[in-house]
Structure 1
Amino acid sequence: MSKLSKLLAFEFEALKNELVTKYDEINIRVSGNWAENLEVEASKDSVTLWGPYSPDGRKPGKQPPSEAIEQWLKDKGIASRLEKEISITSLAYLIARKIGREGWKRQGTPLVRSVVTPERIQQIIDKISEDQLNDFTATILTYFKTTAL
C-alpha cells in the first residue's frame, strides 16, 4: 500500500468514526447494523468507505428485501404492537413494496451530508496535498544533493 493510500485510509477511518458518532448523536440507531457494518477498504491504488445501505434514504426503483424490514420492525418494537392487526411478514412486504415504488427519505438531519461536507473533504485534500508536497520536495532535494554540479 502506498503512503498516499495509507494516509487516505487513516482519513477515511476518521470519517467512519465521525459518521458513527453522528449516527448515535441524532439517535437513529435501531439494530446498529449500519454503524457496525461500515467498512474502509484500502488497496494499493484506492480507498473506499462503504456501508450496507444509506441511513439518509433510498431512491425509488428496486424493492428492498422484506426480511430486512421485518427485522427492523422487530428491533424497533413495532412488530409486537401490530401482530393482532396484520402479520409482520405482510407488513414488511407492503413497506418494501412502497419503498421500491416511491423511495424513502429520512426526515431530519441527513447523516452522511452532515459529516461528509465540502469543508471536511477540503481538509482531507489539504492534508494529502501537504504530504505529497513534502514528499516531492524531499525527492527534489535528494536529487539535487546527489547530482550536485
Structure 2
Amino acid sequence: DTTLPHYYSREFTLRGTKGFAKADQKLILTDGNIPEIYDTYDFYKKEMGSSDAYKEKFLPACWRNITDEQRTLGHGGMDYIEFRVFFDCLNEGRAFPIDVYDMATWMAITPLSEKSIQNGGKVVEIPDFTRGEYKNRPSGDVLKL
C-alpha cells in the first residue's frame, strides 16, 4: 500500500544465495553467520545494527562522510549526493551514472506491472529502450562515486 498511514520506509531488502540485508533494521546476515534464534523479538534485539561492521569496507565514501547538514537536504542525504554527482560529472566531463535509458526502464516498471496484473500475472517483456546498445555500454561502479 502507498496511501495508508505508516512510518517512512523504503523497505530496502536484498536477498541472495550467500546472504541477506534489510535496511530498516540495519541487518546483514551472511552464509554461515545466521544465528538459530526462533523468537523474532530476541533475534532483532541481538542482530539489529549488524550492518555497521560492513560500513567501512563497503559503504561508498560519499555516504561514510556525509554531514548532518547534508542529511537534511532531502531524502536523508540522497538528494544532496545525487546533485553532487550530477554537477561533478558536468564539471569533469564524465558520463552520468544514470542516463535517460535507465530512467525510461525504471519508469516502465509500474505500467508493465499493471499490465501483468491485468493479465493474471503473465510475464511482460521490459522493452530495450537502447535497441541493444546497452551491450556496448561500459559498466560502472557505484562505489567510485
Q: Normalising TM by the smaller chain, what interval?
A: under 0.3
Q: TM-score, normalised by structure 1?
A: 0.26
Q: TM-score, normalised by structure 2?
A: 0.27
Richer in helix (by share):
1
Higher relative contact order (CA 8 A, sep 6+): 1
